[in-house]
Amino acid sequence: MVQIETVVAERFAVGESPVWDGDNGRLFWTDIPAGTIHALEIASGARALWSFGEPVGAFGLCRSGRLVVALSEDVVLFDMATGARERLARVEHAKPGMRFNDGKVGPDGAFWVGSMDATGVGSPAARLYRIGPDADVRTIADGLSTSNGLAWNADGTLMYHSDSRGQMWIDVWDFDPAAGVAANRRHLVVESELLGRADGGACDMAGTYWSAGPSASRLNRFSAEGELLEFIDLPVLRPTMPCFGGPDMKTVYVTSLSSGVEPELLAEHPLCGGIVSFRAALAGVPVGRFHD
């Protein structure tokens, strides 16, 4: 029986993008519509907050100590100490009202980030991008509804990616960590409401893929062949993304959302929108740092 611990009991609208900073023992996350990035020093409980004035879809750590941050259309390098922003790249979305969504730094040192199309107008127009340290923007996949679920296995040879709406699938790609090339895309799992709509993901060192299932209030663990190995029910009701952290990388932190949840469900689930954690038997794969 997994023991769930409360990390942050605040109610974030769309808590997302948890990132573990092992050098400083800190957990980072964003509240997307609030346009904020939060940090919590686990040992001391010290908190920090940065506001960007527009939605923050995702972010990652940089080798320099800065953050690479996906805003609505811009990807910026952000200095947490001074507040200085340096625009790295800008993407013109296909429709008004679109924004960046799930993203992570890959084993190649680039920032991989997708967009979401919640407009309901025409064919889905979201994309998955690779944004290199040289500001080169490469489109990897298109025709998506909500790009999500990015994660890489331990040796960086497999990349996982999902679409949380539309066809609701999880894909796996062969990945070249030296060249930053994803190829041979194929379906790993065809999702369903029963599994929970495949939101954010993370990989452990044994090669399995952990996927948040917000509509089923659980975290699913799949083998590299797509077999559902286990699932963990979570009290946050709408989990959005797991990340591994802690000194041994065996603590799983899970963010969640409260936006759009019915008031009666919010009353029944006081941790909805908060952050919880539990201990895993397997260590997680450390997320890379952007090569700025």
Backbone CA torsion sign across 177, 60, 148, 202: positive
Residue 199 annotated to the active site:
yes
Identified catalytic residue from 31, 102, 163, 199: 199
Query: What's the DSSP call for residue 24?
Result: T
H helix or E strand, kind and range, residue 16: strand 15-21
CA atoms within 13 A on the CB side of 176: 7
Which of 18, 46, 13 lies closest to 276, judged by CA?
Answer: 18
CA distance 179 to 42: 35
DSSP for 92-132?
--SSTT-EEEEEEE-TTSPEEEEEE--S-SSS--EEEEEE-
Catalytic residue IDs: 199
